Structure 1
Amino acid sequence: MSSIDIRHAHSLPPAQARVAVQEVADKLVERFGVTCTWQGDILNFSRSGVDGRIALAPQELHVTAQLGFLLSAMKGPIESEIHRVLGERFG
C-alpha cells in the first residue's frame, strides 16, 4: 500500500473553502465513483482501492489517502492531479 499526504495553504473564508472542497468531492464522485461523506470539517472519500480524507482547517487543507495495490502504481500522477486541482480551487 502507498499513501498520499499533501498539505495546501489557502486564504478562503471557512464557508467558501467548504464549498470549494465540496466541488472537488463532486468531481471525485463523477469521475471516479467514490463515496464522500462529511464529518465536521473532514470530507471522507472511499471506493475500492482508495480510502482518504480532506481535512479543512482555517488556513490549510490536509489531504491524506491510502492507495491499494493497483492504484499504488499511479501514486505520482494522482498526487500531481491533486496538486493541480488544489491550485485551481484554492490558489
Structure 2
Amino acid sequence: MPSIDIRHPHCQSHDDARAAVEHVAEKIQERFSIDCAWNGDALEFNRSGVEGEIRLLPSEVHVVMRLGFMLSMLRGPIESEIRRYLEREFS
C-alpha cells in the first residue's frame, strides 16, 4: 500500500495538542468519511481503502496513512490537505 508519512512539530501542552489533533481528525472525517478512535496517544482511523494513525508525541505529531489502490491516485492532494490542517492547528 502506498503511504503518507508526515511529521509536524508542535510546542503545545499535551492537552492542547490532543485537542488540535481532534480538530484535524474532524476535518479529515468530514472530507474523507473515515472512522476514528483514540488508542492511548494515537488517533487511529480507517475506512475502505485507507488506514492509519495520528500519533501525538511530546514535540511533534506523526501522521501515517496507508492508501489503497484507488486512493493512491489522490495521494498528493490528500497529503496537501492534511498538511494544511496540521499547519492551521499547530501554528
Q: How many residue pairs were aligned?
A: 91
In the alignment, is residue 78 of structure 1 matched against residue 78 of structure 2?
yes
CA deviation profile, 1:21-42 (whole Å, cap 9, x unmatched): 1111122222222110101100
Unaligned runs of 5+ in 2: none
> Residue in 1 aligned with 2:52?
52
* Distance of 1:69 and 1:85 partners within structure 2: 24
Unaligned runs of 5+ in 1: none
TM-score (norm 2): 0.95
The offset of 1:12, in angstroms, is: 0.7
TM-score (norm 1): 0.95
* Distance of 1:33 and 1:88 partners within structure 2: 20
Instruction: Describe how 1:1-91 pairs up with structure 2 within 5 A.
Output: 1-91=1-91
Amino acid at match of 2:2: S
CA deviation profile, 1:9-64 (whole Å, cap 9, x unmatched): 00111000000111111222222221101011000011111001000011100000
The answer as to whether partners of 2:27 and 2:85 remain within 8 angstroms in 1 is no
Give structure 1 regions of 4+ aligned residues with deviation exceeding 4 angstroms. Answer: none
Q: RMSD of the alignment, in Å?
A: 0.9
